[in-house]
A and B are shown apart, each in its own frame.
Chain A
Amino acid sequence: MRGEMRHALLVAIVSAIVLAVAPALIGTYTLTLLVIYGILALSLGLIWGFGGILCFGQAAFFGLGAYTYAIAAINIGESTVPFLLGIAIPFLFAAALGAMMFYGRLSDVYLGVITLVVTLLFFRFMNSTAGPEYVIGTARLGGFNGIPGFQTLNVPGDPSGYIFGDAYYYLTAVALLIVYLLVRWLLASPFGRIAMAIRENELRVELLGYDARARKTLLFSIGGAIAGLAGTLYASWAEIVTPGMFSLGQSAEIIIWCIVGGLGTLVGPVIGAMILAYLKFALGQQSVIDNTLVLGAILILCVLLMPRGVVPTLGTELRRSFQRPQTGGTRRRPGASPAERAHV
């Protein structure tokens, strides 16, 4: 356990250096979004890669966090309480949804459908709130156009001390590092061990006397809270929240980040999110080929050529070039051995 945490600290320090140098290459404005998406990908990477819970609706928590923040910020003004609510509400909602699913023994693709349907429900509902009757406090929900014009994040206690630009980037970068370390710590704890054991064999863990349902619910809620945090940060970055955050496309994108980056790792999804989001940003600057087409082709190639994801594939390649050649490369997902995936 201590070894793992040392490893995690090393990863965090390297990442911190990378994040600190990055603004020299890419504008902080875009970087901020990449980091926020990284946090979002981390939330799914945690519950899916380590808890075995395939959630098609991570966007629901992302959107819920953003909407909670926006609505609370309009009503309250000062951003500290809205910020905390933006994490707490998705946590509670995920806990309720998780309890409903896990105590109902839902698993596998059926679980995927429920989470998908819940996301679609949010999407539909938010889209149809354009009328003046949809108000929470003084905040109009705004339907398809979303909610603009709320108080963005400020220095706690000072409503006019907005945090924006470079400062906001460093804030999100620190948030990402803290979340990463907390998740690492969680996974190294007995709770994390059991969560991974549940992923491998739920029945066996239950027979050992652990309550798998409660643990899965808690893990799912933590994932929800992290996604909510990402949503909160997003709201403050974009200065507008729209129902598109709940869309099927958004949900799919989070899943894609995880797979492209490498499932069963924590760094993988973060990197996957950053690469793909940046790619999308870079693609929009050309108008030679239809961008939807390019993105589609990249996804297909990723699955076919790097089935384990970028990070594990690169990790294996690196290790191979440093060590003597291994025999019979494994192409199985996620990760080749538990030891390998626990350390990335």
Chain B
Amino acid sequence: MDLAAIFAVEILYALASLVVISSGLAVVFGMMRVINLAHGEFMMVGGYATIVAVKSGINIYIAMLIVAPIVVGVLGVIVERLIIRRLYGRLVDTMLATWGLSLLLIGLASMIFGNTTTGISPPIPGFAIGRYQVNGYSFFIILAAVAILVAMFAVLAGTRAGLVARGAMQNPAMASALGYNPERVYMLTFFAGSALAGLAGGLFAPLLGLVPTIGSAYIAKAFITVISGGASVIAGLVSSAVLFGATSQIFTLATTPMVGEIALLLIAVVLLRLLPQGITSRFFRGAM
């Protein structure tokens, strides 16, 4: 029974971590049709920002939840101004440029930090469920995932800024005729997406052995999750995270991590064959 509870926590955690990893990419892809292949490296930068902040005496929660998103958000704005802005509407070019960016960031990080940066420990201790120990920090990640989703929904549906953002993405000419500056909206959206990547990096920093190349462990997963979700940012993200997270984790628990990963990939192939435009092209249509 206790073991079942542990397994349930692990499955929930798997979904939550997919949401956290993919949310930044989902915002940028869903709203702007830009695939940021440096997403994993943005997370890596967020991780280093957190560690550096904590080492210089800043409270760990402030470091994870505020410093990391701001640092990476600012990085995102710089990248948007210098690179992405020139490439809107050219999906493949942005992919190439951001791939280049990811290599650049890896190179920079390994020149600055090297490969032996001491990490930080999670601020929440593990605790016991019956005879079993569970990672207390998992619950924090689950909580964070819920908070991210709620915040995304609130901003997009509930605020004027969200409305303008959606309007500017759908019809930039109309938005600018109404007095809104689409360029600014793009910039702010990319800031938000990057900040979410930074947040993800910060949140995972205590759980990872942080090395400059860590981003590659995440980019494929995030990419598959976001694309399979389809056009709706939130509904797509949630539905594919649930599907992939549960599948891979159940297979991992039942067999081996290798089978878990292969199961995830096979499900993705089958899913996209059946729903060529992603999950939200068939289900939850019109959802946000």
A–B proximity contact (CB within 8 A): yes
A residues at B contact (CB < 8 Å):
54, 100-101, 104-107, 109-110, 112-114, 116-118, 120-121, 124-125, 128, 248, 252, 255-256, 259, 289-300, 302-304, 307, 333
A113 & B272 in contact (Cβ 8 Å cutoff): yes
Hey, what's the 0/1 contact readout for B76-92 against A, CB within 8 Å counting as 1? Answer: 00000001001100111
**What's the Cα separation between A124 and B111 when bound, in Å?**
30
**What's the Cα separation between A293 and B258 when bound, in Å?**
31
17 A-B residue pairings within 8 Å (CB atoms): A54-B92, A104-B274, A107-B276, A114-B269, A114-B272, A116-B223, A117-B265, A120-B265, A125-B262, A248-B216, A289-B111, A292-B110, A293-B106, A293-B111, A299-B97, A300-B100, A304-B83
Residue of B nearest to A104 (CB): B273
B37 CB contacts on chain A under 8 angstroms: 252
A113 & B92 in contact (Cβ 8 Å cutoff): no
Residue of A nearest to B90 (CB): A333
Contacts A113-B227, A117-B224, A121-B269 supplied; 15 other A-B pairs, CB < 8 Å: A100-B273, A101-B273, A107-B276, A110-B276, A117-B272, A121-B262, A121-B266, A289-B111, A292-B104, A292-B106, A294-B107, A295-B107, A299-B99, A303-B96, A304-B87
Contact of A121 among B35, B111, B265, B274 (CB under 8 A): B265
Once A116-B223, A128-B258, A248-B220 are accepted as A-B contacts, the answer to whether A297 and B104 lie under 8 Å apart by CB is yes
**What's the Cα separation between A291 and B227 when bound, in Å?**
31
Contact of A303 among B100, B266, B269 (CB under 8 A): B100
B96 & A255 in contact (Cβ 8 Å cutoff): yes
Contact of B93 among A113, A297, A303 (CB under 8 A): A303
Q: Tell me if B129 counts as interface (CB < 8 A to partner A).
A: no
A290 & B102 in contact (Cβ 8 Å cutoff): no
Task: Determine the main DSSP class of B at the interface with A.
Answer: helix
A124 & B258 in contact (Cβ 8 Å cutoff): yes
Contact of B268 among A113, A248, A293 (CB under 8 A): A113
Once A124-B261, A296-B103 are accepted as A-B contacts, the answer to whether A109 and B227 lie under 8 Å apart by CB is yes
**What's the Cα separation between A292 and B212 when bound, in Å?**
11
Contact of A296 among B105, B262, B265 (CB under 8 A): B105
Q: Tell me if B128 counts as interface (CB < 8 A to partner A).
A: no
Once A113-B223, A256-B96, A293-B108 are accepted as A-B contacts, the answer to whether A300 and B83 lie under 8 Å apart by CB is yes
Contact of A252 among B97, B99, B110, B277 (CB under 8 A): B99
B90 & A296 in contact (Cβ 8 Å cutoff): no
B216 CB contacts on chain A under 8 angstroms: 248
B278 CB contacts on chain A under 8 angstroms: 110
B97 CB contacts on chain A under 8 angstroms: 299-300, 303-304
**What's the Cα separation between A292 and B278 when bound, in Å?**
34
B224 & A113 in contact (Cβ 8 Å cutoff): yes
Contact of A299 among B96, B106, B224 (CB under 8 A): B96
Contact of A293 among B87, B103, B272 (CB under 8 A): B103
Hey, what's the 0/1 contact readout for B175-204 against A, CB within 8 Å counting as 1? Answer: 000000000000000000000000000000
B96 CB contacts on chain A under 8 angstroms: 255-256, 259, 299, 302-303
**What's the Cα separation between A251 and B258 when bound, in Å?**
21
Q: Tell me if B228 counts as interface (CB < 8 A to partner A).
A: yes
